[in-house]
A and B are shown apart, each in its own frame.
Chain A
Amino acid sequence: MNGNDGSKMKDSKWVRDFEKSNDKLVLRFLKANGVRYLFGFLFFAAVNLLQVVTPRLTGDIIDELYKQNPDLSLIAKFAIVIFALSIVIMGLQFLGRLTVLGAGTLFDVLMRRKLFRKLLTLSMNFFHKKSIGDIMALSVNDLNAVNRAIGHGAMMVSNTIILAVVSIVAMGETMSYKLTLMIFIPLPLLVFTMYKFGMVINRKFRKVQDRFGELSGKVQENIAGIRVVKSFVREESEQKSFEKVNRANYDAEVEMALVNGLFMPLISFISSFCYLILIYFGGRSVIVDQSISIGDFVAATSYITLLIRPMQMLGRLLGMVQRGKASMGRIYDLFEEKPDIVDHKFNQNDVDIKDNKLKGKIEFKKLNFAYNEKNGDVLKDINLVINPGETVAFMGTVGSGKSTVSNLLIRLFDTPERGQLLIDDMDIADIPLKTLRGNIGYIPQDNFLFSDTIRYNIGFSPDEMNDEQIEEAAKTSDIYDTIMDLPDQWETMLGEKGVNLSGGQKQRMCIARAVAKNAPIMIFDDCLSAVDMETESRILKSLKDVQSKRTCIIIAHRISTVKDSDKIVVLHKGRVAEVGTHEELLEKQGYYYKSYRIQLLEQQYGVGLKDAKGEKK
Chain B
Amino acid sequence: MNQTKYMKMSKDNKDKKVKLNKDSFKNIIRFALPYWPWFVLAFALIICISVADILQPLIIKFAIDDNISLALVNEMTIDEATKNLGMLALVYVGLALIHFLFGFVQEYTLQKTGSRIIMEMRNKMFDHVQRLPFSYFDKTPVGTIVTRICNDTSAISEFYTGVLINFFNDIFIMVGILITMFIMDVRLTLLTIAVLPLIAFASITFRLKARKAFHRIRTKLAAINAFISEHVSGMKIIQAFNMEKKKDEEFAEINNDYYDANMSRIKIFGIFRPFMDVVKSFSLALVIYIGAKQVIGTSLEVGVLYLFIRYIGNFFQPIMNLTEMFNTTQSAVVAADRISSVFDTKPESDHEIREPLLTPENCRGRIEFDHVWFAYIDEIWVLKDVSFTVEPGESIAIVGMTGAGKTSIINLLCGFYEIQKGSIRIDGVDIKDMTKQELRHLVGMVRQDVFMFSGSVLHNITLDNDNITLEQAQEAAIMTNADDFIRELPGQYDYQLNEGGSVLSEGQRQLISFARAIVTNPKILVLDEATSNIDSETERLIQDALVKLMQNRTSISIAHRLSTIQNSDKIIVLNNGRIMEQGSHDQLFEMRGLYYDLYRLQFE
Given contacts A239-B130, A445-B533, contact A286 B72 (CB under 8 A): yes
Distance to closest chain B CB from A479 (angstroms):
9
Report whether B562 and A83 are in contact in the complex, using a CB–CB cutoff of 8 Å.
no
Query: Do A253 and B111 form a contact, CB below 8 Å, given A273-B93, A599-B536, A606-B562?
Result: yes
Contacting A93 at CB < 8 Å: which of B232, B251, B270? B270
CB distance from B382 to the nearest CB of A (A): 9
The answer to whether A86 touches B277, judged by C-beta atoms less than 8 angstroms apart, is yes
| Chain A interface residue bracket vs B | 35 or more
Q: A94-B274, A438-B242 are in contact. Are A496 and B141 (CB under 8 A)?
A: yes
Closest to A64 in B: B292
- Cβ of B55 within 8 Å of any chain A Cβ, yes or no, is no
Interface pick from A160-168, A194-202, A240-248, A322-330 = A240-248
A595 to B561, CA, bound (A): 13
Inside 8 A of A224's CB, which chain B residues have their CB? 142, 233, 451, 499-500
Q: Per-residue 0/1 for A186-229: is the Cβ within 8 Å of any B Cβ (1 yes, 0 no)? A: 00000000000000000000000000100111011111111111
**Size of interface on B: residues with Cβ below 8 Å to A:** 200
What 0/1 readout, one digit per residue, does chain B (285-302) give for beta carbons within 8 Å of chain A?
110110011011000001
* B466 to A, closest residue via Cβ: A237
User: Is there an interface contact between B490 and A374, defined as CB atoms closer than 8 Å?
Assistant: yes
A398 to B508, CA, bound (A): 6
| Residue B447 lies at the interface, judged by CB distance under 8 Å to chain A | yes
B23 at the interface (CB under 8 A from A): no
Indicate if B41 sits at the interface (CB-CB under 8 A): no
Q: Is A66 an interface residue (CB 8 A)?
A: yes
* Chain B residue nearest to A116 in the complex (CB): B251
Asked if residues B589 and A608 are in contact (CB atoms below 8 Å), the reply is yes
Q: Given A139-B228, A294-B72, do A79 and B285 touch, yes or no (CB 8 Å)?
A: yes
**Contact across chains for A127 and B235 when beta carbons are under 8 A apart:** yes
Q: Mark A251-280, 1 if CB is under 8 A from B, else 0.
A: 001101110111011101100110111011
Give the chain B neighbours of A112 by CB distance below 8 A: 224, 255, 258
A462 touches B245 (CB 8 A): yes
- Whether B456 is near chain A, meaning CB under 8 Å from some CB there, is no
Contacts of A230 in B (CB 8 A): 130, 134, 416, 436, 440
- Do residues B131 and A235 form an inter-chain contact, with CB atoms below 8 A? yes
B86 CB–A CB distance under 8 Å: yes
Interface residues of B in 489-530 (CB under 8 A from A): 489-490, 498-500, 502-508, 510-511, 513, 516, 520, 529
- Bound form: Cα–Cα A482–B405 in Å: 13
Contact A108 B259 (CB under 8 A): yes
Contact between A287 and B453 (Cβ–Cβ < 8 Å)? Answer: no
Give B471-502 as 1s and 0s: 1 = Cβ < 8 Å from A's Cβ atoms. Answer: 00000000001000100011000000011101
Stretch at the interface among B143-151, B163-171, B205-213, B362-370: B143-151
Residues of B with C-beta under 8 A to A246: 119, 122-123, 126
Q: Which of A256, A461, A603 contacts B243 (CB 8 A)?
A: A461
User: Is B134 in contact with A227, judged by CB distance below 8 angstroms?
Assistant: yes
- Which of A10, A58, A287 has the most C-beta atoms of chain B within 10 angstroms of its own C-beta? A287
From known contacts A62-B305, A127-B235, A136-B225, infer whether A261 and B108 are also in contact, taking CB-CB under 8 Å: yes
Picked from A70, A98, A266, the residue with its CB within 8 Å of the CB of B267 is: A98
Contact B256 A397 (CB under 8 A): no
A203 to B392, CA, bound (A): 61
Contact B67 A141 (CB under 8 A): no
Chain A, Cβ-Cβ closest to B306: A62
Q: Which of A6, A273, A371, A438 contacts B255 (CB 8 A)?
A: A6
Taking the closest CB of chain B, its distance from the CB of A251, in whole angstroms, is: 9
Q: How far is the CA of A240 from the CA of B99 in the complex (A)?
A: 41
B21 at interface, CB cutoff 8 A: no
Task: Report Cα–Cα, A253/B149, bound state, in Å.
Answer: 17
**How far is it, in angstroms, between the C-alpha of A54 and the C-alpha of B101 when the chains are bound?**
37
Please name all residues of chain B whose beta carbon is closer than 8 Å to the beta carbon of A287 when the two chains form the complex: 67-68, 71-72, 78, 81-82
Instruction: Decide: B99 and A58 in contact? CB cutoff 8 A.
Output: no
Q: Which residue of A lies closest to B67 (CB)?
A: A283
Q: Out of A66, A91, A254, which one reaches B115, CB within 8 Å?
A: A254
Cβ contacts under 8 Å, A65 to chain B: 292, 295-296, 302, 305
- Could you say which of A117, A122, A221, A288 contacts B82, with CB atoms under 8 Å apart? A288
* Candidates B142, B286, B399; contact of A223 at CB < 8 Å: B142
Q: Which of B17-61 contact A (CB under 8 A)?
A: 56, 59-60
For the complex, give the distance between the alpha carbons of A255 and B505 in Å.
42
Min CB distance, A441 to chain B, in Å? Answer: 9
Minimal Cβ-Cβ distance residue in B for A402: B505
| Bound-state Cα–Cα, A468 to B88, Å | 91
* Cβ contact within 8 Å between A140 and B239: no
> Is B93's CB under 8 angstroms from A276's CB?
yes
B129 CB-CB contact with A under 8 Å:
yes
Does A185 have its Cβ within 8 Å of any Cβ on chain B?
A: no
A437 near B535 with CB under 8 A, answer: no
> Does A387 interact with chain B (Cβ within 8 Å)?
no
Q: Does B425 contact A (CB under 8 A)?
A: no
Q: Are B601 and A257 in contact (CB under 8 A)?
A: no
Kindly list chain B residues whose C-beta atoms are within 8 Å of the C-beta of A297.
64, 68
Which stretch, B4-12, B178-186, B549-557, touches the partner chain A?
B4-12
- B5 touching A451, Cβ below 8 Å: yes
* A346 interfacial by beta-carbon distance below 8 Å: no
User: Contacts of A89 on B, CB cut-off 8 Å?
Assistant: 274, 277-278
Min CB–CB distance A374 → chain B (angstroms): 5
A462 near B243: Cβ-Cβ < 8 Å:
yes
A524 contacts partner chain B, Cβ-Cβ < 8 Å:
no
A240: chain B residues within 8 A (beta carbon): 464
Q: Whole-angstrom distance between the alpha carbons of A412 and B503 in the complex?
A: 13
Residues of B within 8 A of A531 (CB): 402, 560
A277–B2 CA distance with the chains assembled, in angstroms: 71
Q: How far, in whole Å, are A265 and B147 apart by their CA atoms in the complex? A: 34
Tell which of A93, A128, A265, A606 touches B104, judged by Cβ atoms closer than 8 Å.
A265
A122: chain B residues within 8 A (beta carbon): 235
Determine how close the nearest CB of chain A comes to the CB of B104; give it in whole angstroms: 5
Judge whether B535 and A7 touch: CB under 8 Å.
no
CB-CB under 8 A from A97, the residues of chain B are 266, 269-270
A403 adjacent to B506 (CB under 8 Å)? yes
Report Cα–Cα, A127/B228, bound state, in Å: 13
* Closest beta carbon of chain B to A571's beta carbon, Å: 10
A460 to B247, CA, bound (A): 10
Contacts of B293 in A (CB 8 A): 72
- B232 — which chain A residues lie within 8 A by C-beta? 119, 127, 132, 135
- How far in angstroms is the closest Cβ of chain A from B372? 18
Nearest A residue (CB) for B464: A237
- For window 516-549 of A, CB contacts with B under 8 Å fall at 517, 526, 529-537
A241 to B499, CA, bound (A): 16
A120 near B503 with CB under 8 A, answer: no
- Judged by a CB distance under 8 angstroms, whether A238 is at the interface is yes
Nearest chain B CB to A586 CB, angstrom units: 13
Q: Mark B88-110, 1 if CB is under 8 A from A, else 0.
A: 11101100110111011111100
Assess whether B85 is in contact with A283, with CB atoms less than 8 Å apart: yes
Counting CB contacts under 8 A, is A446 at the interface? yes
Are A257 and B246 neighbours in the complex by a CB distance under 8 Å? no
Q: A154 → chain B, closest Cβ, in Å?
A: 13
CB contact between B563 and one of A72, A231, A598 (< 8 Å): that residue: A598
Whole-angstrom CA separation of A434 from B142 in the bound complex: 30
Those of B199-249 within 8 Å (CB) of chain A:
221, 224-225, 228-248
User: Can you name 20 A-B pairs with beta carbons within 8 Å?
Assistant: A6-B260, A54-B281, A120-B248, A135-B232, A141-B151, A220-B143, A223-B129, A223-B146, A227-B451, A250-B115, A268-B103, A269-B97, A272-B56, A272-B93, A398-B485, A444-B236, A456-B2, A499-B137, A603-B602, A603-B603
Q: Known contacts A256-B111, A437-B242; can you find 17 more A-B pairs with CB under 8 A?
A: A72-B293, A78-B288, A112-B224, A113-B251, A116-B228, A124-B235, A215-B122, A220-B146, A221-B499, A225-B452, A230-B440, A231-B414, A265-B100, A272-B56, A437-B239, A487-B380, A605-B562
Which are the 10 A-B pairs with shortest beta-carbon distances? Answer: A504-B402, A6-B256, A398-B507, A86-B281, A272-B96, A261-B108, A265-B103, A257-B111, A90-B274, A261-B107
